[in-house]
């Protein structure tokens, strides 16, 4: 079975999906990602789907689930690099991937996460929190 690699860049986990997603691969990715978020304490997850030609309702739901899981583990999920054709298909199918943030490319996705993280820090600025100090 193919596994989707998860890369850690600073405070962000980068998942670049390069293979066709089967049910098994998707479930494995969910598990792996949840483990990695806990293990690394990252606050951002970027899922790069530039290479995906087809995003069906199953992959759409998987992305939603991953976003929800990450949310629970206090990590922001951004889906990046969706192709125009894929976006059009999803709209035609009526899937709007609610609750998922999107960006044009990995770079913009990282900016988005950084911005979201900065907001959080501002709110926490008054309290001398160990987590804030570390990053």
Q: Choose the stretch contacting other proteins; rule: CB under 8 A; options: 10-18, 33-41, 107-115, 125-133.
A: 107-115
Task: Check residue 19 for interaction with other proteins (CB under 8 A).
Answer: no
List strand residue ranges (DSSP E) for the chain, in order. Answer: 6-9, 12-16, 44-48, 76-80, 101-103
DSSP state of 19: S
**Pairing between strand 6-9 and 76-80?**
unpaired
Show contacts with other proteins in window 108-127 (CB under 8 A): 108-109
Q: Nearest 5 degrees, angle CA 85-CA 90-CA 94?
A: 145
Contact between 8 and 42 (Cβ < 8 Å): yes
Indicate the SS3 state at residue 12. Answer: strand
Supply the minimum distance, in Å, between the C-beta of residue 92 and other proteins.
Answer: 8
Please pick, from the candidates 73, 97, 114, 116, the single residue that binds other proteins as defined by CB under 8 A.
97
The single residue listed with the structure tokens 């044009």 is 104
Task: Check residue 83 for interaction with other proteins (CB under 8 A).
Answer: yes
Task: Check residue 96 for interaction with other proteins (CB under 8 A).
Answer: yes
Please pick, from the candidates 24, 57, 65, 105, the single residue that binds other proteins as defined by CB under 8 A.
105
Task: Check residue 90 for interaction with other proteins (CB under 8 A).
Answer: yes
Contacts to other proteins by CB under 8 A: 78-80, 82-88, 90-92, 96-97, 101-105, 107-109
């Amino acid at each position: 079975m193919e596994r989707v690699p998860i890369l850690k860049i600073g405070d962000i986990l980068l998942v670049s999906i390069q293979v066709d997603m089967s049910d098994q691969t998707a479930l494995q990715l969910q598990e792996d990602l949840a483990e990695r978020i806990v293990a690394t304490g990252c606050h951002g997850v970027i899922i790069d789907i530039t290479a995906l030609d087809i995003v069906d309702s199953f992959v759409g739901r998987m992305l939603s689930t991953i976003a929800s899981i990450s949310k629970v583990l206090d990590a922001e999920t951004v889906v990046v690099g969706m192709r125009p054709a894929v976006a059009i298909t999803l709209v035609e199918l009526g899937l709007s991937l609610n609750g998922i943030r999107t960006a044009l490319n990995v770079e913009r996705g990282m900016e988005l996460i950084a911005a979201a993280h900065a907001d959080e820090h501002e709110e926490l600025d008054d309290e001398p929190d160990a987590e804030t100090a570390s990053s």
